[in-house]
Structure 1
Amino acid sequence: MGSRFLRSSPDGEVPFAKVDEGGGIATASGTSILQLGDHSNDLPESQTFFRDVVRGLESTPRSLPSRYFYDDKGSKLFQDITELEEYYPAACEREILAGQSDAIAAYLGDDFGLIELGPGDGHKSYHLLEALLSRRAHFRYYPVDISAGIMPPLQRNLAGLEDLEFHGLVGDYEDGLQYLSGREERHVVLFLGSSIGNFNLDESADFLRRLRMSLHSGDLLLIGFDLVKDPSILIPAYSDSKGITRQFNLNLLSRMNRELDADFDPDAFLHHAAFNPRNHAMESYLISTREQTVSLHEPLSGMQRSFSLDCFEAVQTETSQKYTVADMEDLARRSGFRIEASFQDSRGYFTDSLWIADDP
Structure 2
Amino acid sequence: MNIRALDLHDDGRTPPATGLLEIVRRGLRAQPKRLPSWLFYDAPGSALFERICEQPEYYLTRCETALMQAHAAGIADTLGVDVRLVEYGSGNAAKTRLLLEHMAAPVSYVPVEISPEPLQQSVRRLGERFPQLAVQPLCADFTRALRLPIPSRAPRRTVLYFPGSTIGNFDTRDAVALLRKMRGEMGDNGGILIGADLKKDPALIEAAYNDAAGVTAEFTLNMLARLNRELGCDFDLAGFRHRAHYNALAGRIETSLVSQRAQKVRLGRGTVVFGDGEAIRVEISCKYSLEDFAALAGKAGLEVLRVWLDPERMFSVQYLVRAGSVAR
Say whether the fold is shared (TM-score over 0.5).
Answer: yes
What's the offset of the Cα at 1:270? 2.2
Structure 2: distance between partners of 1:243 and 1:27: 39
Tell whether the 8 Å contact from 1:109 to 1:137 is kept in structure 2 after alignment: no
Structure 2: distance between partners of 1:73 and 1:155: 18
The match for 1:171 is 140
Structure 2: distance between partners of 1:213 and 1:157: 30
Tell whether the 8 Å contact from 2:196 to 2:315 is kept in structure 1 after alignment: yes
The match for 1:12 is none
SS at match of 1:167: coil
Long gaps (5+) in structure 1: 1-24, 298-303
The match for 2:111 is 143
Tell whether the 8 Å contact from 2:199 to 2:288 is kept in structure 1 after alignment: yes
The match for 1:8 is none
SS at match of 1:85: coil
Tell me the TM-score normalised to structure 2 length.
0.89
The match for 2:298 is 333
Structure 1: distance between partners of 2:255 and 2:315: 20
> 1:145 is aligned with what amino acid?
E
The match for 2:260 is 289
Tell whether the 8 Å contact from 2:83 to 2:156 is kept in structure 1 after alignment: yes
The match for 2:9 is 35
What's the offset of the Cα at 1:100? 0.8
SS at match of 1:131: coil
Give the alignment partner of residue 345 of structure 1, picking from 302, 310, 317: 310
Structure 1: distance between partners of 2:2 and 2:190: 27
What's the offset of the Cα at 1:175? 4.9
Runs of 4+ in 1 over 4 A off after TM superposition: 31-34, 177-181
Output one character per residue of 1:149-181: Cα deviation in whole Å (capped at 9) or x when no partner. 444422332222243232323333345465569
Distance 1:65 1:121, change over 3 A: same
Give the superposed CA RMSD: 2.5
Structure 1: distance between partners of 2:193 and 2:170: 17
Structure 2 residue 270 is matched with structure 1 residue 305? yes
Give the alignment partner of residue 39 of structure 2, picking from 63, 68, 83: 68
Structure 2: distance between partners of 1:187 and 1:214: 8
Structure 2: distance between partners of 1:358 and 1:179: 27
> 2:123 is aligned with what amino acid?
Q
Identity, in percent, stands at 34
What's the offset of the Cα at 1:184? 6.6
Structure 2 residue 171 is matched with structure 1 residue 200? yes
What's the offset of the Cα at 1:307? 2.1
Distance 1:43 1:248, change over 3 A: closer
Tell me the TM-score normalised to structure 1 length.
0.82
SS at match of 1:27: coil
SS at match of 1:60: coil
What's the offset of the Cα at 1:235? 0.7
Structure 1: distance between partners of 2:293 and 2:14: 36
The match for 2:197 is 226
Structure 2 residue 243 is matched with structure 1 residue 272? yes
What's the offset of the Cα at 1:279? 1.3
Tell whether the 8 Å contact from 2:40 to 2:219 is kept in structure 1 after alignment: yes
* Larger CA deviation: 56-65 vs 200-209: 56-65
SS at match of 1:93: helix
The match for 2:209 is 238
Structure 2 residue 59 is matched with structure 1 residue 59? no
What's the offset of the Cα at 1:359? 5.2
Distance 1:170 1:318, change over 3 A: closer
Distance 1:228 1:296, change over 3 A: same
Long gaps (5+) in structure 2: none
Tell whether the 8 Å contact from 1:32 to 1:166 is kept in structure 2 after alignment: no
Structure 2: distance between partners of 1:351 and 1:119: 18
Distance 1:45 1:311, change over 3 A: same
Structure 2 residue 16 is matched with structure 1 residue 45? yes
* Larger CA deviation: 334-343 vs 313-322: 313-322
Tell whether the 8 Å contact from 1:256 to 1:262 is kept in structure 2 after alignment: yes
Output one character per residue of 1:209-254: Cα deviation in whole Å (capped at 9) or x when no partner. 1111223323111000011111100111111111111111112222
